[in-house]
Amino acid sequence: MPSNRPLISVVIPVYKAERILDELYRRLCLALETVTPAFEIVLVEDCGGDDSWAVIERLAAADPRVHGLQFSRNFGQHYGITAGLDHCNGDWVVVMDCDLQDQPEEIPRLYAKAQEGFDVVLALRGPRKDPLLKRATSWLFYRLFSYLADLDVDGDSGNFRIMSRRVVKNFTRMREQLRFFGGHVQWMGFPTASIQIRHSERFEGSSTYTFRKLVKLASDTIIAYSDKPLRLAVRAGFAMAGVSFCFGSYILGRAFWHGSAIPGWSSLIVSLYFIGGLVIGILGIIGVYLGKTFDESKKRPLYILRRATESAGVDLD
């Protein structure tokens, strides 16, 4: 264990944030120095196509406590968090977004709460400053995810939280391709608390999480965390078989007592199309799970680093 290990690491995935980073760094330093001068800031640039990396290099050159990592291509927010957690060194690790909706000034409160004996302290967002559509889709995502993944995930908590070193150590052992940071941490089951924080408006720009991206994130994480869609499909199949058996018995009984079956091709065709669509849908669900299993079997790295600042001490060879 290195003797110069920082007390607090702050891990931040960065995407299209060139105009935010200077203010983010300034406020982080002011907030963290009220707790300890021994901290580090790990910025993971996710190839947003702007000048964020140039800003990170400048900050790292001026302050060795700033460590920069850049992906070889865009991998996504949760892979950025994974890379930051792989390369941070603090006894306590804060994860937050780069848009300053998560306010750095709340970090001392998270740390103070953690000292009461908790390994994880979540930041529950107060009245959110997001547009109505984003709030609605976020609420729907967390309700659907909690039901299908059998995990009670609080929609008021985002990525902003503080974790102990043992939580981070166990997190880095989980290398599945489908990443969902909050679900991974909750699955581990370490003692967890939460505090209410202020939620701010974005400092600059707009969210890059479109409805389409939210739908993809929801489907990927549900598949990664649960086989409940498969079990629901099996139940639907048995339910349809039960309904068909009852209806068939009714037709046979009517034919026996009245000498003729119920006429009507329309109901027959509708039933065939309905059952056919249900079967195809169930096969599609199975196919998705098989596809994800195939992806996991490749054992590819979760991300690839293209560059790192000298302060990060990362060997890219």
Q: Residues 163-217: pLDDT tens digits?
A: 999 999 999 999 988 888 988 898 899 999 999 988 776 556 555 556 676 677 7
User: What number of other Cβ atoms are within 10 A of residue 125's Cβ?
Assistant: 21
Helix ranges (DSSP H) in 63-164:
77-87, 107-114, 132-149
Most confident segment among 107-111, 266-270, 287-291: 107-111
Over the chain, what is the mean pLDDT? 84
Q: Above pLDDT 70, what percent of the chain? A: 81
CB 77, CB 13: distance < 8 Å: yes
| Residue 239 belongs to domain spanning | 228-297
Looking at the structure, do residues 40 and 179 belong to the same domain, yes or no? yes
Classify each residue of 166-191 as buried b or exposed e, where b means 16 or more C-beta atoms within 10 Å of its C-beta. ebbebbeeeeebbbbbbbbbbebeee
Looking at the structure, do residues 20 and 62 belong to the same domain, yes or no? yes
Q: How confident is the model at residue 142 (pLDDT cuts 50, 70, 90)?
A: confident
Looking at the structure, do residues 60 and 35 belong to the same domain, yes or no? yes
Residue with token string 């965390």: 225
Looking at the structure, do residues 46 and 146 belong to the same domain, yes or no? yes
Looking at the structure, do residues 167 and 251 belong to the same domain, yes or no? no
For residue 103, which of 179, 165, 26 has the smallest C-alpha distance? 26
The pLDDT of residue 2: 44
Kindly state whether residue 1 falls inside one of the protein's structural domains: no
Looking at the structure, do residues 239 and 191 belong to the same domain, yes or no? no
State how far the alpha carbon of 64 is from the alpha carbons of 20, 32, 67, 89, in Å.
Answer: 19, 15, 7, 14
Question: CB under 8 Å to 60, separation ≥6 — which residues?
Answer: 66, 67, 68, 309, 310, 311, 312
Looking at the structure, do residues 131 and 271 belong to the same domain, yes or no? no
Looking at the structure, do residues 163 and 271 belong to the same domain, yes or no? no
Looking at the structure, do residues 248 and 181 belong to the same domain, yes or no? no
User: What is the average per-residue pLDDT within 253-277?
Assistant: 66
Looking at the structure, do residues 199 and 241 belong to the same domain, yes or no? no
Q: How confident is the model at residue 1 (pLDDT cuts 50, 70, 90)?
A: very low
Q: Taking 60 as the threshold, does the pLDDT of residue 121 lie above it?
A: yes
Looking at the structure, do residues 57 and 145 belong to the same domain, yes or no? yes
Q: Which residue has the higher pLDDT, 81 or 209?
A: 81
> pTM for the whole thing?
0.79
User: What number of other Cβ atoms are within 10 A of residue 33's Cβ?
Assistant: 12
Q: Which residue has the higher pLDDT, 250 or 264?
A: 250
User: What is the average per-residue pLDDT within 17-34?
Assistant: 96
User: What is the average per-residue pLDDT within 294-306?
Assistant: 89
For residue 157, which of 195, 188, 187, 131 has the smallest C-alpha distance? 195
Kindly state whether residue 305 falls inside one of the protein's structural domains: yes
Kindly state whether residue 109 falls inside one of the protein's structural domains: yes
User: What is the average per-residue pLDDT within 56-60?
Assistant: 97
Please give the backbone phi and psi of residue 97, each rounded to the nearest 5 degrees, phi first. Answer: -85, 165
Low-confidence winner among 99-103, 252-256, 310-314 (lowest mean pLDDT)? 252-256
User: What is the average per-residue pLDDT within 241-264?
Assistant: 69
Q: How many structural domains compose the chain?
A: 2
Q: Which residue has the higher pLDDT, 105 or 250?
A: 105
User: What number of other Cβ atoms are within 10 A of residue 137's Cβ?
Assistant: 18
Q: Taking 50 as the threshold, does the pLDDT of residue 131 lie above it?
A: yes
Looking at the structure, do residues 258 and 186 belong to the same domain, yes or no? no
The pLDDT of residue 31: 97
